[in-house]
Amino acid sequence: MKFIKRTLLVLLLRSTISLLFRARIYRSLGTYHSLGQRANYSATDADLVSLIRNSKDLKDPDVREIISQGLSITRKQLHFTAEKNDIDPNKLITSRSAHCAGYATFFATSCNFLLEQHGLSDLWVAKPQIGQLYFLGTNVHSYFSSPFFKDHDFVSIENKKTGVVFAVDPTVNDYLWIDLVTYRK
């Protein structure tokens, strides 16, 4: 009986630590490599513009608050599907379902709109990236034969003057609430 209690306590402790430090663990084990960029879309649909414009009011935000707001908008608006669908955020506003490419373009469009709205677009730009995920240095895409898993989209938010880059995977954020990921150019 003592063994079972001790084992359950260890499992509970490990689970709690994993949950609390999931972002740090994910960033230390996984790395995103860019293969190129997807097209950046402007928010032209009136419903999309309204959704972004009427999101939480940010007073004098920095880029991290813009990223957080963009993730919140994307997470609330989209749900994941493996089905082939559009990646244009102006169309996703009504379909509301997307795979990783749609999540990335929707998030990048939301971020760029917010950056413009708050006067930060001269300094920062969000770019949807086509990439691959490496786990402990190994390309995970090489283990899948399906064309669906040949790559994975994420977004880089780059400072135009300093070159500082924040990388975000809005799909992973939707499921694991992990904001920033590790990125290698």
What pLDDT score does 19 carry? 67
Q: Quick: pLDDT tens for 129-143.
A: 999 999 999 898 888
H-helix or E-strand spanning residue 157: strand 152-159
Q: Cα–Cα distance between 165 and 158 in angstroms, integer? A: 4
pLDDT at residue 129, as a whole number: 97
Pairing label, strands 97-98, 79-80: parallel
143 three-class SS = helix
pLDDT tens across 7-26, in order? 777 777 777 776 677 888 88
Q: What is the pLDDT of residues 58-93, one digit of tens each?
A: 777 899 999 999 999 999 999 998 888 889 999 999
β-sheet bridge partners, residue 139: 134
Q: Name the percent of the chain in helix, strand, coil, to the closest 5.
A: 50, 25, 30
Q: How far apart are alpha carbons 59 and 65 in whole angstroms?
A: 10
Task: Work out the average pLDDT over 86-108.
Answer: 93
